């Protein structure tokens, strides 16, 4: 898709910024010696824009799109298993079996990758006001950075609970800092996203080359999701319905095609990781490679494979099942027959890349990772409406998602009619599992659902055989021990670890 390439060429152009100055891979590191400082870099609108795109580029990093992201958000859930071979990927096996410790590198990568992104956003926000430029452009850049900083902090607080807030570039005395209470972190996330809403354009106001940059609707939807996690349903519903009523978004007409290049940049996706496989590299990711098909053609490594529990969750004939499962023996859209190797019977279809979509190697993948879709907005709105006792709207939003999924076949996925509050809530939650299978949102969905219905997450995990899961302990991940050590204990470990 042309707009993918244009947006990512801008990111590639911005990578020279990364060579000038950046934080290392944890939130405590300082700007390295001998590199251009922010004082000499932030002198023009062009350089500010380079720094803005470099912040977007954080989403492509290994930590936020490959093993750490998948281990801490997907493999850990009942939807997925480690994959690959029994002896390959010991640290992912720890995530799959809940035997991880405070030294697990996937957890450290997820932690440090989000703080890396926060640092990038703070570099822009701490320096932009001194740069002469049009106020409208400056405010838009700020809005993008507030959104991304809020998004990264949200990832951290839902994953780790109490964490340090970073809203400025720390000086020498500010590296060893204690955690902030989760309530304070959520307050910061809300503040950042509210400012983003006030400063970002509508999707329809984007020029074609800017498709992929965050918008007002993305910020509204993300803030609604934050309120949903906090069980502030009325506030969340107001934001979701603002997105729904804006007319800016719609469900993509073909669920399976949504996860191919045809769906990239579509009106269904509010916030996505844009990636492009290019000869130069630098704007792709390993998201596709680590989940790709194992075998002689070496299309990938075979990690993060869909589970039997996810397979069982689909209703009879649900087209989303085959759009999510890429099974051994299946012939893909580009004529490739999936081999039966290493005992792997299915892969993540949504992460599959055709040979024509790969340039040079699969570690320069062009697959997009969807962080927020319109279907998510609809199902979260349904959940909030149901909580308020408004089954009419809850059913309307839920059945919109089911109607798209059935693809015009009236014999499949009949409309839900249940108006019982508890029963409808369970059907909405069930719909979430099959609609977003293998998209990396299941685990923390389960954690928040368990706060509403105690024992819910444990029940689902046990059904899949992940009996080591302890909802009290594993509702958050441990703080990486390496950063506790670096602060001489100022940063304290979370309870139960």
Residue-wise pLDDT tens digits, 396-443: 999 999 999 999 899 999 999 999 999 999 999 999 999 999 999 999
Map out the domains of the chain with their CATH numbers. Answer: 2-278+371-486 (1.25.40.390)
What pLDDT does residue 291 have? 92
pLDDT value for 7: 58
**Which residues fall within 8 angstroms of residue 123, CB to CB, at 6 or more apart?**
21, 38, 51, 55, 169
Could you report the per-residue pLDDT of 204-260, keeping only the tens digit for each?
Answer: 999 988 988 999 999 999 999 999 999 999 999 999 999 999 999 999 999 999 999
Close Cβ partners of 300 (under 8 Å, ≥ 6 residues apart):
288, 289, 290, 291, 292, 293, 294, 347, 362
Q: Which residue has the tokens 């700020």?
A: 142
Distances in Å between the alpha carbon of 51 and those of 60, 171, 196?
15, 20, 17
Structure pTM?
Answer: 0.92
Q: What is the pLDDT of residue 173?
A: 61
pLDDT of residue 386 exceeding 60: yes
The single residue listed with the structure tokens 């080591």 is: 468
Q: Is the pLDDT of residue 339 over 80?
A: yes
Give which of 179, 169, 170 is closest to 480, Cα–Cα. 179
The rounded percent of the chain whose pLDDT value lies above 90 is: 76
With a CB cutoff of 8 Å and minimum separation 6, the contacts of 483 are 26, 27, 28, 108, 111, 112, 491
Q: Are 145 and 168 in contact (CB under 8 A)?
A: no
Decide: 87 and 136 in contact? Cβ < 8 Å.
no
What average pLDDT does range 194-201 have in this prediction?
98
Q: Return the pLDDT at 152.
A: 98
Q: How many alpha carbons lie under 13 Å from residue 482 in its C-beta half-sphere?
A: 14
Determine contact, residues 147/218, Cβ cutoff 8 Å: yes
Distance between CA atoms of 47 and 288, rounded to whole angstroms?
31
Q: What are the tens digits of pLDDT across the range 142-171? A: 999 999 999 999 999 999 999 999 998 877
Residue-level pLDDT at 363: 58
Higher local confidence (pLDDT), 144 or 353: 144
Mean pLDDT of the chain: 90
Buried b (16+ CB within 10 A) or exposed e, 366-382: bbbbbbbbbbbbbbbbb
3-state secondary structure 283-332: CCECHHHHHCCCCCCCCCCCEEEECHHHHHHCCCCCHHHHHHEEECCCEC
- Asked whether residue 9 carries a pLDDT value surpassing 90, the answer given is no
Distance CA 285, CA 289 (A): 8
CA distance 219 to 10: 22
The greatest distance separating any two alpha carbons of the chain, rounded to the nearest whole angstrom, comes to 66
At 368, the pLDDT band (50, 70, 90 cuts) reads confident
Token pair 């319905």: residue: 241
Please compute the mean of the pLDDT values over residues 41-50 and round it to a whole number: 92
pLDDT per residue over 59-74, tens digit each?
A: 999 999 999 999 999 9
pLDDT of residue 148: 98
Mean pLDDT in residue range 278-299: 77
Return the beta strands (E) in 354-412 as ranges.
369-373
Return the pLDDT at 2: 42
- In DSSP terms, which residues pair with 305 in a beta bridge? 81
pLDDT in tens, 103-130: 999 999 999 999 999 999 999 999 999 9
pLDDT at 489: 87
Residue-level pLDDT at 25:
39
Q: With b meaning 16 or more CB within 10 Å and e meaning fewer, what string describes 170-181? A: beeeeeebebbe
Stretch 291-308: mean pLDDT, rounded? Answer: 87
At 385, is the secondary structure helix, strand, or coil?
A: helix
State residue 29's pLDDT score.
44
**Residue located via tokens 């096996």:** 93
Give 409-452 as a DSSP string: -TTSSPPP----HHHHHHHHHHHHHHHSTTSS-HHHHHHHHHHH
Residue 361's pLDDT is 58
Say what the pLDDT of residue 172 is. 61
Residue 23 pLDDT > 90, yes or no? Answer: no
β-strand partners of 348 = 325
Q: Residue 8's pLDDT band (boundaries 50, 70, 90)?
A: low
Output 430 or 10, whichever has higher pLDDT: 430
The H or E element that residue 326 is part of is strand 325-327
Q: What is the reported pLDDT for 36?
A: 61
Q: Please indicate whether residue 331 or residue 26 has the higher confidence score (pLDDT).
A: 331
pLDDT at residue 177, rounded to an integer: 86
């Amino acid at each position: 898709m042309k707009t993918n390439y244009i947006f990512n060429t801008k990111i590639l152009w911005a990578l020279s910024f990364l060579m000038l100055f950046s934080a290392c891979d944890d939130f405590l590191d300082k700007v390295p010696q001998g590199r251009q400082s922010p004082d000499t870099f932030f002198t023009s609108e062009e350089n500010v824009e380079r720094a803005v795109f470099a912040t977007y580029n954080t989403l492509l990093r290994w930590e936020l799109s490959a093993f750490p992201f998948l281990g801490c958000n997907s493999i850990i859930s009942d939807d997925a298993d480690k994959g690959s071979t029994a002896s390959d990927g010991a640290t992912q096996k720890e995530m799959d079996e809940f035997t991880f410790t405070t030294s697990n590198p996937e957890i450290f990568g997820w932690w440090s990758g989000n703080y890396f992104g926060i640092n990038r956003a703070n570099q822009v926000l701490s320096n932009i006001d001194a740069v002469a430029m049009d106020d409208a452009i400056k405010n838009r850049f700020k809005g993008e950075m507030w959104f991304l900083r809020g998004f990264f902090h949200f990832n951290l607080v839902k994953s780790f609970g109490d964490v340090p807030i970073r809203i400025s570039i720390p000086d020498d005395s500010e590296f060893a800092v204690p955690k902030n209470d989760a309530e304070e972190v959520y307050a910061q996330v809300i503040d950042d996203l509210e400012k983003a809403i006030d400063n970002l354009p509508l999707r329809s106001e984007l020029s074609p080359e800017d498709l992929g940059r965050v918008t007002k609707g993305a910020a509204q939807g993300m803030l609604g999701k934050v309120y949903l996690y906090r069980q502030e349903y009325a506030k969340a519903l107001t934001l979701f319905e603002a997105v729904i009523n804006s007319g800016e978004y719609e469900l993509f007409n073909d669920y399976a095609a949504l996860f191919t290049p045809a769906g990239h940049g579509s009106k269904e996706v509010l916030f996505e990781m844009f990636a492009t496989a290019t000869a130069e590299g630098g704007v792709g990711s390993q998201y596709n490679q680590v989940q790709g098909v194992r075998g002689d053609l070496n299309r990938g490594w075979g990690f993060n494979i869909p589970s039997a529990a996810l397979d069982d969750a689909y209703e009879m004939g649900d087209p989303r099942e085959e759009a999510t499962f890429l099974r051994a023996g299946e012939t893909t859209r580009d004529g490739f027959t999936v081999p039966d190797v290493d005992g792997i019977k299915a892969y993540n279809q949504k992460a599959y890349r055709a040979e024509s979509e790969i340039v040079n190697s699969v570690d320069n993948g062009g697959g997009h990772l969807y962080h927020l879709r319109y279907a998510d907005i609809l199902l979260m709105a349904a959940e909030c409406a149901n909580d308020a006792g408004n089954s009419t709207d809850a059913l309307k939003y839920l059945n919109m998602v089911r109607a798209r999924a059935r693809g015009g076949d009236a014999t499949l996925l009949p409309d839900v009619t249940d108006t019982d509050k508890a029963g409808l809530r369970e059907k909405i939650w069930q719909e979430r599992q099959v609609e977003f299978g293998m998209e990396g949102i299941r685990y923390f969905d389960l954690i928040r659902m368990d706060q509403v219905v105690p024992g819910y997450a444990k029940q689902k995990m046990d059904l899949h055989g992940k009996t080591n899961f302890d909802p009290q302990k594993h509702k958050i991940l441990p703080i990486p021990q390496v950063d506790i050590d670096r602060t001489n204990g100022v940063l304290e470990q979370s309870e139960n670890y």
